[in-house]
């Protein structure tokens, strides 16, 4: 009880500190608006919003304002994706794919206003659930993480990359693992972290410091999106918004258990390294369909189905920040971009992070979700107008933003060449259905894996049993091996046979 009270007191102090600063609102309103705009425009994603703002604000303003801008855009974009899902039947971001299943039929039936109002409320409650979970669990996990040594860190980094590769692959799981390994390989370029031995620099001095995070993020997330968006000419027809947007309190009360359950699922999925909001939305939707008394109405315009996905994808934000702040392992692709922002500000997320930063992140998330809620209710029609603007107007400006953001972080032309090179690779990987998130997570976690793996060997004099003999390391090793083995055809056949028996 004392712990919870002290937590609340710390949070209150951080919250008031931010709330009395007028600049906070300037950054909040601008970033949430930009985030919702990015989410509402199909082809622009939450990851892209956070990535571009990382380049633009990353290390140019105080960290607090930088975090307000990035988290505001993150929260706004995940929510904003519900607009085209409901009114165009095109998910604004992958996180809102499940929303379109019920949102569009509702809009066609003339209940678009009601759907948007409930979505706004559910997104707000979802973000708050994720944030509260973050506030409570992050400390307990930080205590545990302080006892984590090099072997566990190395295996955890590997687990994050493998899990992200496994869950983000839309074709073969092996492609996700390959993407993760490519990311790891990219992180090997430059001077090695322990002996300063140059690796794969090909005599180019720029590569001595390795690949900079921001150009890699920009290249991996922005360039393929820009090329893809310009390649596909899609003009959707926006349905007219009928009905009032202000939510009906009776409906919210009725669906409160659904919102609560979806919030918990979303937070849980978010806490898995590198998985993200799209998986959270679908998992919550699937669970909702299974346990709901009206499961047969899902996909035909069910308010419950709509709430399942929209609550979960926003709750995922708080969840995704748990592994990021506790272990330095991003829980979702936008969180990976956020990690880039931490890195360029010389803040190292993980067991040694300043607790003040965590409290401020929580306070910012609450403020951002409130801003999103008010904007969603009172300026929804502005965003609906934005839906009518074709991508070809926005994407060239995004390209210019990406270029200047990438250039300004490192201040060199080489960063732009790197961005373009990574962008070309990421574009072809996208084309071949390789997920990009594991690649980025591999780049971010590569140096951590390299350093901790080798430090473990240093300390054990080359004895590999160090990865089995410690309880934590043994558990993580089993998880890593289990994850790989679970994807073998033999294991998959066994699972399906077991399923068959249990039915």
Binding residues (CB under 8 A) for another protein: these are 56-57, 60-61, 171-172, 174-175, 177-178, 181-182, 184-185, 188, 192, 194-197, 199-200, 223, 226-227, 230-231, 233, 390, 392-393, 395-397, 399-401, 403-404, 407-408, 411, 413, 416-417, 419-420, 423-424, 432-433, 449-450, 453-454, 457-458, 461-462
**Shortest spacing between CB 460 and another protein, in angstroms:** 8
Q: Which is nearer to another protein, 147 or 196 (CB)?
A: 196
Q: What SS3 class is residue 86?
A: helix
d(CA 396, CA 359): 37
**Shortest spacing between CB 288 and another protein, in angstroms:** 27
d(CA 251, CA 59): 44
**Shortest spacing between CB 14 and another protein, in angstroms:** 25
**Shortest spacing between CB 223 and another protein, in angstroms:** 7
Output the DSSP codes for 306-321: HHHHHHHHHHHHHHHH
**Shortest spacing between CB 198 and another protein, in angstroms:** 9
Q: Which is nearer to another protein, 248 or 447 (CB)?
A: 447
Q: Quickly count: other Cβ atoms within 10 Å of residue 356's Cβ.
A: 12
**Shortest spacing between CB 495 and another protein, in angstroms:** 19
Q: Which is nearer to another protein, 117 or 340 (CB)?
A: 340
Q: Which is nearer to another protein, 252 or 401 (CB)?
A: 401
Q: Which is nearer to another protein, 8 or 172 (CB)?
A: 172
d(CA 390, CA 190): 41
**Shortest spacing between CB 103 and another protein, in angstroms:** 26
Output the DSSP codes for 171-214: S-HHHHHHHHHHHHHHHTSEE-TTT--EES-TT-GGGGG---HH
- Residue pair 480/162 in contact (Cβ under 8 Å)? The answer is yes
Output the DSSP codes for 246-298: SPPHHHHHHTHHHHHHHHHHHHHHHTSTT--HHHHHHHHHHHHHHH-TTGGGT
**Shortest spacing between CB 257 and another protein, in angstroms:** 38
Burial of 431 (0-12, 13-18, 19+ CB in 10 A): exposed
d(CA 435, CA 161): 12
Q: Which is nearer to another protein, 284 or 456 (CB)?
A: 456
Q: Which is nearer to another protein, 2 or 461 (CB)?
A: 461
d(CA 169, CA 34): 29
- Residue pair 55/406 in contact (Cβ under 8 Å)? The answer is yes
Rg of the chain over CA atoms, in angstroms?
22
Q: Which is nearer to another protein, 14 or 157 (CB)?
A: 157
Q: Quickly count: other Cβ atoms within 10 Å of residue 157's Cβ.
A: 28
């Amino acid at each position: 009880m004392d712990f919870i009270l002290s937590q609340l007191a710390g949070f209150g102090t951080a919250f008031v500190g931010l709330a009395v600063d007028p600049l906070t609102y300037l950054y909040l309103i601008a970033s949430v608006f930009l985030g919702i705009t990015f989410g509402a425009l199909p082809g622009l994603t939450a990851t892209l919003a956070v990535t571009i703002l990382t380049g633009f604000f990353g290390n140019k303003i105080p960290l607090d304002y930088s975090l307000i801008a990035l988290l505001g855009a993150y929260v706004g974009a995940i929510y904003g994706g519900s607009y085209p899902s409901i009114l165009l039947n095109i998910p604004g971001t992958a996180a809102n794919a499940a929303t379109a299943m019920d949102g569009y039929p509702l809009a066609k039936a003339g209940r678009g206003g009601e759907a948007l109002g409930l979505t706004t409320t559910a997104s707000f409650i979802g973000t708050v659930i994720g944030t509260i979970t973050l506030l409570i669990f992050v400390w307990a996990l930080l205590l545990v993480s302080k006892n984590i040594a090099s072997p566990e860190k190395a295996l955890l980094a590997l687990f994050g990359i493998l899990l992200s590769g496994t869950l983000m692959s839309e074709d073969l799981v092996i492609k996700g693992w390959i993407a993760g390994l490519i990311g790891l390989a990219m992180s090997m370029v430059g001077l090695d972290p322990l002996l300063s031995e140059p690796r794969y620099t090909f005599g180019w001095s720029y590569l001595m410091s390795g690949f900079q995070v921001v150009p890699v993020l920009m290249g991996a997330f922005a360039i393929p999106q820009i090329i893809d968006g310009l390649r596909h000419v899609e003009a959707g027809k926006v349905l007219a918004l009928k009905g009032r947007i202000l939510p009906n309190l009776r409906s919210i009360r009725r669906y409160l258990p659904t919102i609560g359950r979806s919030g918990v699922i979303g937070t849980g999925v978010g806490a898995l390294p590198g998985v993200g909001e799209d998986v959270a939305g679908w998992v919550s939707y699937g669970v909702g369909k299974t346990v709901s008394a009206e499961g047969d109405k899902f996909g035909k315009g069910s308010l419950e189905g709509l709430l399942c996905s929209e609550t979960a994808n926003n709750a995922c934000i708080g969840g995704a920040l748990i592994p990021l702040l506790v272990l330095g392992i991003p829980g979702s692709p936008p969180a990976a971009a956020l990690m880039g922002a931490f890195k360029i500000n010389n803040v190292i997320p993980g067991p040694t992070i300043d607790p003040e930063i965590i409290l401020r992140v929580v306070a910012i998330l609450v403020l951002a979700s409130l801003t999103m809620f008010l904007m969603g209710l009172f300026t929804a029609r502005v965003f609906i107008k934005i839906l009518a603007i074709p991508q070809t107007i926005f994407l060239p400006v995004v390209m210019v933003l990406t270029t200047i953001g990438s250039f300004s972080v490192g201040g060199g032309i080489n960063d732009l060449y790197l961005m373009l090179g990574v962008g070309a690779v990421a574009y072809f990987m996208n084309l071949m259905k390789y997920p990009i998130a594991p690649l980025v997570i591999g780049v971010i976690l590569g140096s951590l894996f390299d350093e901790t793996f080798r430090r473990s060997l240093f300390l054990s004099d080359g004895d590999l049993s160090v990865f089995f003999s410690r309880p934590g390391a043994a558990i993580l090793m089993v998880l890593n091996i289990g994850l790989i083995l679970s994807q073998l055809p033999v294991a998959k056949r066994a699972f399906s046979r077991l399923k068959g028996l249990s039915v």
